[in-house]
Amino acid sequence: MAAAVAAAAAAAAATSAGRPAEGLHSSRVDDPGSRSLWLAAFADQVAGCTKCALAQGRTQVVFGSGNADADLMFVGEAPGFHEDKQGVPFVGAAGKLLEQLLGGIGLARDDVYIANVLKCRPPGNRDPMPEEIEACESHLWRQIELIQPRVVATLGNFATKLLSGKPTGITRVHGQEQEVTLGGRRVLLYPIYHPAAALYTPRMLEVLKDDFARLPELMGRKVAPPAPVYVAPVAAEPAVQLGLF
């Protein structure tokens, strides 16, 4: 156990520093039960992150929480006031609604993993800035790589645009799953409105319930591996006699 923790810490340190870690894709990462060790070691590294100016005003890094072996991962936008104080994502009113929506499909918070695009609270809960997303996104990619979820549900515009790699907003794509490659694996990306939307617009609650109702089916769906790329053989060219030129 101690050796596994040390190896996870070393890999996390290398990843945080931007270096490839030896054994990064070893079976220890792939084995259920070991992921929590790697994730905890990585969280320790991210706790001291100073990649952007948000580090100056935060109470603490809000890394993420939940089941490290989860098939379903939620990705929100950024921590708010309560999350910044407690160090846990989605603990305010939107978090309580998220738990209710999970309960409606037979899941609990401990069954899933929850993270955000940003790990530090933007001042006044403003929208994330492009440079902040760029500085922080590698943390999220590594979380997805370690957890290896089958379904990644993006909550709102910022998470959806980042993980889909497309500019299309949540209004047009919510409830429409798409196969993407995240963390080196094929997963189902499933955009959903942020629960906060229902707090401000009550009629959105029914839309959220309908989108959440599809999650159990999506979690059980097999995702096809990427299609192999066929490269046509190139005919060998005749040797050139340099003395002729």
Domains and CATH numbers, the chain: 1-46 (no CATH), 53-224 (3.40.470.10)
Q: Show the 3-state SS of the chain.
A: CHHHHHHHHHHHHHHHCCCCCCCCCCHHHHCCCCHHHHHHHHHHHHCCCCCCHHHHCCCCCCCCEECCCCCEEEEECCCCHHHHHHCCCCCCHHHHHHHHHHHCCCCCHHHCEEEECCCCCCHHHCCCCHHHHHHHHHHHHHHHHHHCCCEEEEECHHHHHHHHCCCCCHHHHCCCCEEEEECCEEEEEEEECCCHHHHHCCCHHHHHHHHHHCHHHHHCCCCCCCCCCCCCCCCCCCCCCHHHC
- Beta-carbon contacts of 61 under 8 Å, excluding residues fewer than 6 positions away, are 46, 47, 48, 49, 87, 119, 120
Nearest Cα to 73, choosing from 162, 155, 193? 155
pLDDT score at 239 = 40
Q: What is the distance of C-alpha 4 from the center of its chain?
A: 23
Give the type of residue at 6: A
Contact in structure between 218 and 176 (CB atoms under 8 Å): no
Give residue for tokens 């270096």: 19
pLDDT in tens, the chain (245 residues): 444 444 444 444 444 444 334 333 333 466 766 889 999 999 999 999 999 999 999 999 999 999 999 999 999 999 999 999 999 999 999 999 999 999 999 999 999 999 999 999 999 999 999 999 999 999 999 999 999 999 999 999 999 999 999 999 999 999 999 999 998 899 999 999 999 999 999 999 999 999 999 999 999 987 666 555 444 454 444 443 333 33
Q: Using CB atoms within 10 A of its CB, is residue 105 exposed (0-12), middle (13-18) or buried (19+)?
A: middle
pLDDT score at 187 = 96
Task: Tell me how far apart the alpha carbons of residues 222 and 126 are, in angstroms, rounded to a whole number.
Answer: 38
pTM over 0.85: no
Length in residues, the chain? 245
